[in-house]
Amino acid sequence: MGRARRRRRQKKARKFCVCDYNPEIILLNRWLSKNGIRKNEKVGLAIFDDTGRGVLTKKKIKPGEELLNLPLNLTINVTTILMDLPFCNIFLENQKQCLLEYKHSISFQSMMAFYLVYLKVQDVNSTWGVYMKSLPLEYTVPYFLPNEIKCFIDADILSVISKQKDVIDLSYNIFVTVLKSNISADSSVQSLKKMFTKSDYEWAYFTVNTRCVYMDLTKVIDLSNIGNSILNLISDNTKISLCPYLDMINHSPNARNEAQLIVSKDIENIKVRDLNRDMLADVRFSIYTKNNFNPYSEVFICYGDSHNLKLITEYGFFLPNNDLDYVSFTFEDVKTFLNSSKFKLSQEQLSFISSHGLNKDLYIDIRGLSYNFYGFLMVVKYYYNHGKDVSKLLYSAAICSTDNSLNDIIAPMVVQKLVTIKESVNKLNVCESKCVILDNCVELMCQYVRILENFIKC
């Protein structure tokens, strides 16, 4: 191929539009530089046809290269919240004894979301104003689907939405109550009191959900000695952080990367009450890649091995040909089906199933039955077969599972599920309110159809 043709072909393959010259991104880059970011000079921001906004490299990146290095003070993490005294005073200057009343009642993700809303209502010229402006305005997670569409969405997706809703509602109500009884005179707290809405909180919750990275600061701050701090409110760990620019990098399951905290030796176990920005000025967070990235290609990191149900419901996107996808069946549903078939389960069989944990993780993926589902069906078929020892069979099933006759036991239930999903997909396909969220849900349901059809064929 001639050089000109090759260049033309490369040009055609470039499905992105550089956005480093957008006024908002210019401001962001300026702000990041001023605050000490060290960014691989080959990278910039771009909008990609398939993945949306992301990071582009203009030159080859090799394994071992650092992508980004941020001062800790340029990330939003547990220390940022603890050092923001007006924010902490929302809970501490209060008619209620918040630390007692809501002890261990709030997840750190919810607290981060509340903090984001507090930052959002502040002036654009405030410390985090430029960063706040760089965040997406909305998220494509099914949580935001209108109710009239939800009735045709797969039960597994609905179950995740329902759990998200419970967490969001519960924490939102606590924050509303706390704000009502707050007595702080601080102007940013006053603004938050006036402007705290459910929709802003939902936006913030999913900002944290879709953009946070894992950051373990337990060696830097002494979290065992939390005194009267708002850490008393937290029900889980505080190991997540929002990292400007790093949170612009999209996910690929094939990406390999590592992050590390770079701490000088004399910074260790700082007491919560002693925390200050100067002390943390030398702590940095660095991320490097273990991949090769070609010139003018998108740079990815891996958010963790994830099936599409998680990617769609937590991050709002779908990956085609994802081998990690599976269709799950509840123990109750399988039991009800078997009881209506010739394979009724005895009390003895049920006890055996439960005591061996075979009532959990019942699913079918592109390879067939999950180990537990296979073992469960062995109990169904061979428990009363005197020639076979079910415990031994289970042990051998862990090594090799080739008994295809087990599939036949549940085939009618699988066919029924397949029909139900297909009917829902047909209804969703004629829906007028088309959007990315709906497309992702339909993609996942079609993936479920492929998995179940493959199972029935085998």
Ligand X SMILES: C[S@@+](CC[C@H](N)C(=O)[O-])C[C@H]1O[C@@H](n2cnc3c(N)ncnc32)[C@H](O)[C@@H]1O
Q: Is residue 222 a contact point for ligand X (CB under 6 A)? A: no
CB of 147 to ligand X, least distance (A): 23
Q: Is residue 248 a contact point for ligand X (CB under 6 A)? A: yes
Q: Is residue 250 a contact point for ligand X (CB under 6 A)? A: yes
**Integer distance in angstroms from the first to the last C-alpha of the chain?**
45
Q: Is residue 244 a contact point for ligand X (CB under 6 A)? A: no
Of the residues 93, 101, 247, 403, which one makes contact with ligand X according to CB under 6 A? 247
Helices 371-382, 390-399: axis angle to 10 degrees equals 150
CB of 212 to ligand X, least distance (A): 8
Q: Is residue 136 a contact point for ligand X (CB under 6 A)? A: yes
DSSP code for 230: G
Q: Is residue 210 a contact point for ligand X (CB under 6 A)? A: yes
Compare residues 50 and 453 and give the one whose CB is closer to ligand X.
Answer: 50
Q: Is residue 207 a contact point for ligand X (CB under 6 A)? A: no
DSSP code for 321: T
Helices 155-180, 108-120: axis angle to 10 degrees equals 60
Compare residues 39 and 211 and give the one whose CB is closer to ligand X.
Answer: 211
Per CB under 6 A, which region of 113-121, 225-233, 313-321, 404-412 contacts ligand X?
Answer: 313-321
- Of 236, 229, 325, nearest to 271 (Cα)? 229
Per CB under 6 A, which region of 168-176, 179-187, 250-258, 406-414 contacts ligand X?
Answer: 250-258
CB of 411 to ligand X, least distance (A): 35
Compare residues 106 and 248 and give the one whose CB is closer to ligand X.
Answer: 248
* Binding string, residues 50-89; x marks residues near ligand X by CB under 6 A: -xxxx-----------------------------------
Compare residues 251 and 381 and give the one whose CB is closer to ligand X.
Answer: 251
Look up residue 128 and give its two tokens: 């985090």
Q: Which residue has the tokens 């033309």?
A: 8
Compare residues 52 and 129 and give the one whose CB is closer to ligand X.
Answer: 52
CB of 209 to ligand X, least distance (A): 8
DSSP code for 344: P
* Binding string, residues 375-414; x marks residues near ligand X by CB under 6 A: ----------------------------------------
Q: Is residue 203 a contact point for ligand X (CB under 6 A)? A: no
Of the residues 71, 142, 316, 375, which one makes contact with ligand X according to CB under 6 A? 316
C-alpha–C-alpha distance, residues 327 and 363, integer Å: 5
Compare residues 44 and 54 and give the one whose CB is closer to ligand X.
Answer: 54
| Phi, psi for residue 423 in degrees, rounded to 5 | -60, -45
CB of 136 to ligand X, least distance (A): 5
DSSP code for 231: G
Number of alpha helices (DSSP H) and beta strands (DSSP E) in the chain: 19, 16
Q: Is 447 helix (H, G, I), strand (E, B) or coil?
A: helix
Per CB under 6 A, which region of 4-12, 68-76, 245-253, 396-404 contacts ligand X?
Answer: 245-253
Q: Is residue 257 a contact point for ligand X (CB under 6 A)? A: no
Pairing status of strand 38-39 against strand 66-71:
antiparallel
CB of 393 to ligand X, least distance (A): 41
Q: Is residue 115 a contact point for ligand X (CB under 6 A)? A: no
Q: Is 220 helix (H, G, I), strand (E, B) or coil?
A: coil
Of the residues 39, 120, 211, 381, which one makes contact with ligand X according to CB under 6 A? 211
Q: Is residue 245 a contact point for ligand X (CB under 6 A)? A: no
C-alpha–C-alpha distance, residues 42 and 60, integer Å: 8
Size of the site for ligand X (CB under 6 A): 15
- Helical (H) or strand (E) element with 26: helix 23-34
According to DSSP, the residues that pair with 146 across neighbouring strands are none
Look up residue 39 and give its two tokens: 């960014």
Q: Is residue 297 a contact point for ligand X (CB under 6 A)? A: no
Q: Is residue 315 a contact point for ligand X (CB under 6 A)? A: yes
C-alpha–C-alpha distance, residues 335 and 343, integer Å: 10
Give 315-340 as a 3 state SS string.
HCCCCCCCCCCEEECCHHHHHHHHHC
Q: Could you give the dihedral angle defined by the CA atoms of residues 264, 269, 274 and 279, in that order, rounded to the nearest 10 degrees?
A: 10
CB distance 421 to 154 below 8 Å: yes
- Of 321, 256, 297, 244, nearest to 72 (Cα)? 244
Helices 405-429, 371-382: axis angle to 10 degrees equals 130
CB of 317 to ligand X, least distance (A): 4
Q: Which residue's CB comes closest to ligand X?
A: 53
Residues that bind ligand X (CB under 6 A): 51-54, 136, 210-211, 247-248, 250-252, 315-317
